[in-house]
Chains A and B, each alone.
Chain A
C-alpha cells in the first residue's frame, strides 16, 4: 500500500485534458484524498500540448512531485514529452489509436487502450475523457460507486441517457485496461483516505469566495491570465447578493471604477496580473492620497511585458511596493496557501477600510490556478470591520463648513463619511489638501498630511505576517519563502530531516510594510539563510537585506524558468549548503 501517487493527463489543448482531470480528481476528493494539481498550458485555445498533473495523498500536500506514476496520453507527443518523468515501474495509458510506443530509455509499462474508438462507438469522441478517467480509476482499484456518483453530478442536468452513456464509457475504459493488466495494479494501491470531506478549488476561486464573505459586492475588472477566474466566479455569484461584476475597457478603468465605488461606500475590488498592475499604478496613488479604500488582486505570472502569461513567477513584488509615484501608505499581502487565499481577502477588505489605504493581495500563478484540497473554511472567522466609517446621522455644521474628512487624529485615520449623507459634504482630491479636502500648498499642512498618511500603517501586522511551519526545533539553516512555494519546501525539509539535516522554514506573508521585527529573530538564530523565490533578482532577499540586514548569511535560491520549484531542487540546494 502506498500513501501517495502522481497522475498526469496530456493531449492537445481543447481535447478534454481539463475535463478528464476534473472528473477523476473530483471523485478522488469525494474519497477524502488530499490533492494538489498543476496545469501546464499555453497562451492559446486549441492545439498545442497541454497537461494536467495531480498528486494524490492520504496526508496534506501542497507541492507537485518530482516524478510521475501514471501518465495518460491522448497522443504520442504527450508520451514523448512526459514519459521521462515516470519513475521506474510507472505506467502509461495511451490511446491505441496512434499506436503508442514507449520512448527509448524509459522503463514503463504501456497499456494501449482504444480510448477514441470506445468513445466513438458510444456516440462521440467527446467521451474520450470518460474512457481515460475510467481506465485510470480502474487501475487504482478504487470503489466504482463514488466515481459514478461524480459522473451523475457532472451530467445529471443533461438527462439520464447522457449519464448512462458516460458511465458506460467509464466502465469500458476500466474493463479494457483491467483485462490487459490482469486487475488493479498492486503497486498503486492507495491506503484508504481519512474520508473527511475537503474542498477542492483553485486559489482564484478561494479569493472570489473570500471576497463575498468579506462583503465585496462589486468588481470591476479586465480579463487577463491568470486572474480571470476570480472575475468569472464573481460574475456567477454577485448578482445573487444584489451586486455585479463590470467588465471594463481596460485596467485603468477597472481600478478607477473600483475607487469610485469604494468612495461611494461599497466594498469593491479588481483583479489582474502584472501588465494590468502596471497600468493601475497612478490610480493606486489616488487611492493612497485620497485615503479611499481599495482592494486589488495581483495574480503574478511571468513578466516583464507580456512575458510568460501562463507560467509561474513571483516577480511583481518590487513593482507592487514601489510602483506608485510619490509616497503613499500601501499594504501588500502574499497568501501562501489556498485557505489563506480565502481568509486574506477578508483581512484585505478590513484593512482597506480600517486604514483607508490600497491593499494588494499578491498570489502567484501556481497558487491562483493549481487546483488543490482546501481544509473546511470557518464561517466563524468571517468578521467585517469598517473602521471609522460614519454611519450615524450628522449634526448640521457651523457656518455650512465642510465635514473634516481628513481631520488630524492621533492614529492618523480620519472619520469617513459616504456621499449621500446629510451634513457630510466634503471634498476629495488627489491634490494635496487640508482637513476638509480643499487643495492646499501650505508647507506646514503638507508635512502634517504626509506624516498623517504615512504613519497610519506603522503598527500594522496582518494575521501570521510571518509564518513558521515545518519542523519546530531550531536549526542552523533557515529557508525563507513567499507565496505558493512553502509546501514544496516542507517536502524537501522532510527529506533533509531523514538524513539528519535540520532546517527551519518561514513564509513572509506581509510584504509591505515589511515586518522587520517578526523576521529578525529567525535570521539572528540561523547560521545560514536560503531565500527561495521564483524570480531572477531575489526581490524578497533584497527586501530582507534592506530592512533587516544579515547580508552575509543570505543565499539566493532562484528559479525563473516559468516552472514551480520541485522538492528535489530545494533538497539538493540545501544539501549543498550544509
Chain B
C-alpha cells in the first residue's frame, strides 16, 4: 500500500515561502494514502492561478487545464473512468469568479468527485487584484478605494445548489484538513472543501493570525448535526462563513453516475469500442 511519500514528486513548487497551498498539497497526499489509494488511481485536475499548479506537485495523474474550467474537465475524466478517484482544485478566482457557473452546476450534478478550493481572498498570480471572496472595503490594485461589491459566500451557494458534501478548513490545521479531504474522497457524490489558504505576499489582511482569531471550529458544538441542512445554513450565517469542519453531508442522494440510465458501473474507458454488425443493422433499420 502506498504511503503519503509515494504521492510526492521531486518538483519544487513555485509558491512563495509560507503560502497556505503547501499544506493543502500535503493534506491531499496524506488523505490519498490514508484511504488506500495508489498514485495511479488518483487524478488531480486543476485550474489556473498559483494554486492551479498543484496538479504538478503530486505524484498522480495530473491535468492543469484552463482558467475556471477544472470542474468540467474533472467531471469528464470521472465519466470516462469511474474507477479513478478524481480531485478538482484551484483558487477562489478560478472557482468562484470565472468558473462560478461550473461550480454551481457541478454541485447540482453531483458526480463523484472532490473539489478543493484554495481560498486566499485575492488574485495572487496576477499580483494582487480583488476576488469575489475579498471583503467589502478590501484595498487591492484593482480596488484602490476598497472593494464595493459584496463578498460571495460559497458555502451558502453550495447548500442552496443542492450540495451533498460541504466542508471548510484552514491550511494551518493539517490534521483537520486531511480528515476532511479523506471524508470528501470517500463521499459518494460531489464534495466541496473550501480551504482558507493565506496569501502571504498580497493579502496583508486575511493572514494566518487573522484566521486563527476569527474562525470557529465546529468541534466546539458537540450537538452540531451535519445532516441537517437548515442547521448548516444557520451556522454558516451565524459565523459569517468563518467556520471550519464538516458543515453538511447528505449520504442518501445517489451520484450522477449511479442515476444515469444505462451508464455502466465499470470504467467506460476500458470498454470495447466495436459496434457489432447486429447492433449496426438495428440502428440503420430505424431510418428505412
Contacts and interface: CB of A to CB of B under 8 A. Distances in A.
A387 to B, nearest CB: 13
Nearest to B42: A419
B280 A213 contact: yes
B5 to A, nearest CB: 11
A197 B78 CA distance: 42
B1 interface: no
A281 to B, nearest CB: 11
Interface residues of B, number: 60
A384 B79 CA distance: 21
Given A418-B269, A424-B40, A439-B56, A256 B280 contact: no
Nearest to A198: B288
Given A244-B262, A420-B83, A420-B269, A252 B63 contact: no
B55 to A, nearest CB: 7
Interface string B51-84: 0010110011111111001011111111111011
Given A239-B262, A257-B73, A438 B271 contact: no
A266 B66 contact: no
A98 B243 CA distance: 71
B229 interface: no
Given A205-B287, A242-B263, A382 B80 contact: no
A257 B76 contact: yes
Interface of A: 29-30, 197, 199-201, 205, 209, 212-215, 217-218, 220, 237-244, 246, 248-250, 252-254, 256-268, 282-283, 285-286, 290, 374, 376-377, 379, 382, 384, 400, 402, 418-431, 438-439
Interface string B100-124: 0110110001000000000000000
A246 B264 CA distance: 14
Contacts of A438: 11, 56
Contacts of B72: 220, 248, 252-254, 256-257, 260
Given A197-B288, A199-B288, A261 B262 contact: no
A263 B77 contact: yes
Nearest to B66: A286
6 contacts: A242-B271, A260-B79, A285-B66, A402-B9, A424-B40, A429-B56
A424 B281 CA distance: 38
A425 B271 contact: no
A218 B105 CA distance: 18
Nearest to B55: A427
Contacts of A238: 262
A437 to B, nearest CB: 8
B268 interface: yes
A382 B280 contact: yes
A532 to B, nearest CB: 29
B41 interface: yes
A199 B135 CA distance: 63
Nearest to B11: A438
Contacts of B204: none
B55 A218 contact: no
Contacts of A282: 66
A429 B64 contact: yes
Contact of A377 (B81, B105, B270, B284): B284
A213 B63 contact: no
A425 B44 CA distance: 11
Contact of B283 (A209, A257, A429, A430): A209
Given A238-B262, A240-B262, A244-B262, A218 B284 contact: no
B75 A257 contact: yes
A243 B104 CA distance: 24
A242 B262 contact: yes
Contact of B64 (A205, A419, A423, A431): A431
Contacts of A384: 273-274
A187 B73 CA distance: 61
B277 A243 contact: no
Given A377-B284, A429-B64, A256 B76 contact: yes
**A-B pairs with lowest CB-CB distance, top 10:** A260-B76, A239-B262, A264-B80, A215-B273, A265-B269, A261-B76, A260-B73, A429-B64, A419-B61, A242-B264
A249 B59 CA distance: 32
Nearest to A399: B10
B40 A290 contact: no
B63 A212 contact: no
A246 B104 CA distance: 16
A117 to B, nearest CB: 34
B164 to A, nearest CB: 18
Contacts of A430: 64-66
B32 to A, nearest CB: 13
A283 B66 contact: yes
A251 to B, nearest CB: 10
Contacts of B39: 425
A237 B283 contact: yes
A265 B268 CA distance: 8
A261 B80 contact: yes
A218 B262 CA distance: 12
Nearest to A283: B66
B165 to A, nearest CB: 20
Contacts of B287: 199-201, 205, 209, 374
Contacts of A421: 40
Contacts of A377: 284
